[in-house]
Amino acid sequence: MAGSFSILLYSADKHSFPTSSWYPLGETNQLMFTRKFLIAKWNKALRARVLYRALNREDRGYLWLSIRFIEEVKSTAVGCIIVKILAKLNDALKNPFTRMKETFGLGQAHRLSGIAVTWGYTLAEAWATNTPYIHHLTNNQLNTPGYGI
């Protein structure tokens, strides 16, 4: 049922989509969401089977109503709510290794960088934002016996 909903929703509106998913709002540098963009996020979450796990009933309803009745989001209040909902979806769509890199690896890199700087090695400040180093720390932790995702 959920899959057929997304296909019907997408096919009903595919000819009325604007060509771009993002449009600037007037003279400010704010961005708004279009129906096409929201449908793409909905379908991606549905295909990855995270839509119902990541969002509660209220969030799904709000997103569905926004897709159904709003061509493009112009209200900042609605935009803020949709940003929070899409942040939940994006977090749910990340694979476990990426999530672990953002939580464990980044924290370890900051901690080890701080220790090295206190020992006098000033170049170690760059370790805190070095992506391969963060990847390496996370990979080492995952390969430690008795630990896993």
| C-alpha 127: how far from chain center | 25
Say what the pLDDT of residue 145 is. 84
Task: Report the predicted TM-score, pTM, of the whole model to 2 decimal places.
Answer: 0.62
- Asked if residue 110 has pLDDT above 50, the reply is yes
- Asked if residue 38 has pLDDT above 80, the reply is yes
4: exposed, middle or buried (Cβ count in 10 Å: 0-12, 13-18, 19+): exposed
Q: At 49, which amino acid appears?
A: R
What average pLDDT does range 39-45 have in this prediction? Answer: 93
Say what the pLDDT of residue 31 is. 56
Residue 30's nearest CA partner among 86, 84, 79 is: 79
How many whole angstroms separate alpha carbon 45 and alpha carbon 47?
Answer: 6
Radius of gyration of the chain (CA): 21
Q: At 48, which amino acid appears?
A: A
Grouping H, G, I as helix, E, B as strand and the rest as coil, residue 75 is coil
- Asked if residue 29 has pLDDT above 90, the reply is no
Grouping H, G, I as helix, E, B as strand and the rest as coil, residue 86 is helix
**Sorting pLDDT into bands at 50, 70 and 90, what band is 72?**
confident
Grouping H, G, I as helix, E, B as strand and the rest as coil, residue 32 is strand
**Sorting pLDDT into bands at 50, 70 and 90, what band is 76?**
confident
What average pLDDT does range 24-46 have in this prediction? Answer: 75
What average pLDDT does range 57-74 have in this prediction? Answer: 92
User: Buried b vs exposed e over 94-117: b needs ≥16 C-beta within 10 Å?
Assistant: eeeeeebbeeebbebbeeebeebe
Instruction: Supply 135's token pair.
Output: 């990847």
Say what the pLDDT of residue 146 is. 78
Provide CB contacts within 8 A for 34, sequence distance 6+.
17, 18, 20, 21, 22, 23, 71, 72, 73
Q: Percent of the chain scored above 70 by pLDDT?
A: 77
